[in-house]
Amino acid sequence: MESVDVAVLQHCIDWRAQGRRVVLVTVTRTWGSSPRPVGAMLALRDDGVVCGSVSGGCIEDDLIDRTRRCLMTGERPEVVTYGISAEEARRFGLPCGGTMQLVLEPLSGPAGPEDLGGLGELARRVAAGELVARELDLASGRSFIRPALSNEQLRFDGRTLMTVHGPRYRLLIIGAGDLSRFLASMASALGYQVTVCDPRDEYLAAWDVPNVRLVRTMPDDTVLDMRLDAHSAVVALTHDPKLDDLALMDALKTDAFYVAAIGSRANSGKRRERLKLFDVTDAQLARLHGPAGIFIGSRTPPEIAVSIAAEMTAARNGVPLPAALDIAQTKDASENLHLCPALANAA
Catalogue the E-assigned strands of 18-77: 22-31, 41-45, 50-52
The Cα–Cα gap between 156 and 174 comes to 39
Which domains does the chain carry?
Answer: 4-165 (no CATH), 169-328 (3.40.50.720)
pLDDT at 302 over 60: yes
pLDDT at 343 over 60: no
- pLDDT: which is higher, 94 or 244: 244
pTM as predicted: 0.71
The Cα–Cα gap between 79 and 194 comes to 35
Confidence of residue 194 (pLDDT cuts 50, 70, 90): very high
The Cα–Cα gap between 320 and 324 comes to 12
Q: What whole-number percentage of the chain has pLDDT above 90?
A: 49
pLDDT of residue 181: 95
| Interval 56-98: pLDDT, tens | 677 888 888 887 776 666 788 999 988 766 666 666 666 555 7
Q: Which of 109-113, 139-143, 229-233, 250-254 shows the lowest per-residue confidence on average (mean pLDDT)?
A: 109-113
Angle at which helices 119-127 and 4-17 cross, to 10°: 140
Q: Is residue 39 a contact partner of residue 164, using CB atoms and an 8 Å limit?
A: yes
pLDDT of residue 97: 56
Helix then strand then coil, in percent of the chain rounded to 5, is: 40, 20, 40
Residue 72: Cβ within 10 Å count: 19
Confidence of residue 127 (pLDDT cuts 50, 70, 90): confident
Q: Which of 199-208, 222-231, 271-280, 329-338 shows the lowest per-residue confidence on average (mean pLDDT)?
A: 329-338
pLDDT at 124 over 70: yes
